[in-house]
Amino acid sequence: MLKIESNVALGPRTTLGVGGNAQHFVRVEHATELSEALAWAKQRALEVRVLGGGSNIVVADSGVPGLVIDMALRGVQIQNHGAEVELRVAAGEPWDEFVAASVSRGHQGLECLSGIPGRVGATPIQNVGAYGQEVAETISQVTALDTIKSTLSTFSAEQCQFRYRDSWFKSREPGRYIVTEVSFRLRHHAPPALRYAELERHFQRSGIAAPSLSELREAVLQLRREKSMLLDASDPNGRSCGSFFVNPVLGAQQFSQFLERAAGLGNLPQYPQSDGRVKLSAGWLIEQAGFPRGTRDGAVGLSTKHALALVAHSGAQASDVKRFAARVQRLVLERFGVRLEPEPVFWGE
């Protein structure tokens, strides 16, 4: 039987640690419970939100109305297909535990995504990526519950319409589908994806020409740790959403205009894309706009190790986070003509 709770604090359930209460809250561990929870909310005309690891949301200080579902479906099914393996993973599986298990089995395809907090069900929503790898490269299909029709739907990778930090679920019909299972197609004992300059430099310094999957995972964890991008309650930079802004991707004309504004700065990080556009470093833009690492405004500021991470210190509220983020956006836009888009989702007013 469902245990629906009222006025449940959400701040402690997020990595940022700010925000008010959920009007109603339920933890679901089985598919039938998910259907029951949606029916309960529908009978009362309540909005539904899904909470995973809480690593990509900012909850308003006033809290959120409706029903918040804590997605806790667990389970991993493995099928071998010659040189490949398919893994069907329940949405509530902790992401990094799944990545660690895949690497230990010699399954290649997710190793650069080590150390990312959250749960499996969130990864296809924004096409999670890091260190030169994205889940779009290995997701074969996504199963999701249609909250309007109350039916399960299966989406192929093509139907997911993955783009940089984006998907059909995020942009086309946000909130309609609740991911229940994600299928990944990984390779047996293939070389790791070493195509990110920072990782390449790491192994050059280490004198390792051909790192193993486990060595690459450990390298990623080390780099993330150095940037305070691992969950660590003892780290003063630890209360964050990780990267708060998406690296902007500019078309040819906008990039040309940007170069005029950035003239003379030198050492401009730029990453040409296959479609002719150019990706910029949001962290670089933030620092060049006058926000060095460690900048603080009251209880909120930038990480001392990574300009792309907004940190909520003791006493911070969601309104402080939103105000500081808006200030960063405004000054980057004024300086470079580039609009930074937040990566986390904002819940409530």
pLDDT digits (tens, 9 = 90+) for 143-176: 999 998 889 999 999 999 999 889 999 988 888 9
CATH class of 240-347: alpha beta
Domains of the chain, residue spans: 5-71, 76-188, 240-347
pLDDT at residue 266, rounded to an integer: 81
**Which stretches within 71-156 are classed as H helix?**
95-104
Instruction: Using alpha carbons, select from 73, 71, 87, 76 the residue that is nearest to residue 140.
Output: 87
303 is catalytic: no
Calculate the average pLDDT of the chain.
95
Q: Span 76-188: which CATH code? A: 3.30.465.10
Question: Do residues 329 and 340 touch, judged by C-beta distance below 8 A?
Answer: yes
The active-site residue out of 165, 217, 224, 239 is 165
343 is catalytic: yes
pLDDT at residue 232, rounded to an integer: 86
pLDDT at residue 1, rounded to an integer: 76
pLDDT at residue 280, rounded to an integer: 96
pLDDT at residue 207, rounded to an integer: 93
Question: Do residues 184 and 91 touch, judged by C-beta distance below 8 A?
Answer: no
- Residue 279 CA from chain centroid, whole number: 18
Two domains, one topology: 76-188 and 240-347: no
pLDDT digits (tens, 9 = 90+) for 86-112: 999 999 999 999 999 999 999 999 999
Which class for 218: exposed (0-12), middle (13-18), buried (19 or more C-beta within 10 A)? middle
The active-site residue out of 114, 167, 243, 303 is 243
Measured over the CA atoms of residue 151, residue 157, residue 160 and residue 166, the dihedral's sign is positive
Enumerate residue ranges in the chain where pLDDT < 50. none
**Cβ within 8 Å of residue 217, ≥6 positions away:** 99, 100, 103, 111, 114
Predicted TM-score of the model (pTM): 0.92
In CATH, the architecture of 5-71 is 2-Layer Sandwich (3.30)
pLDDT at residue 167, rounded to an integer: 95
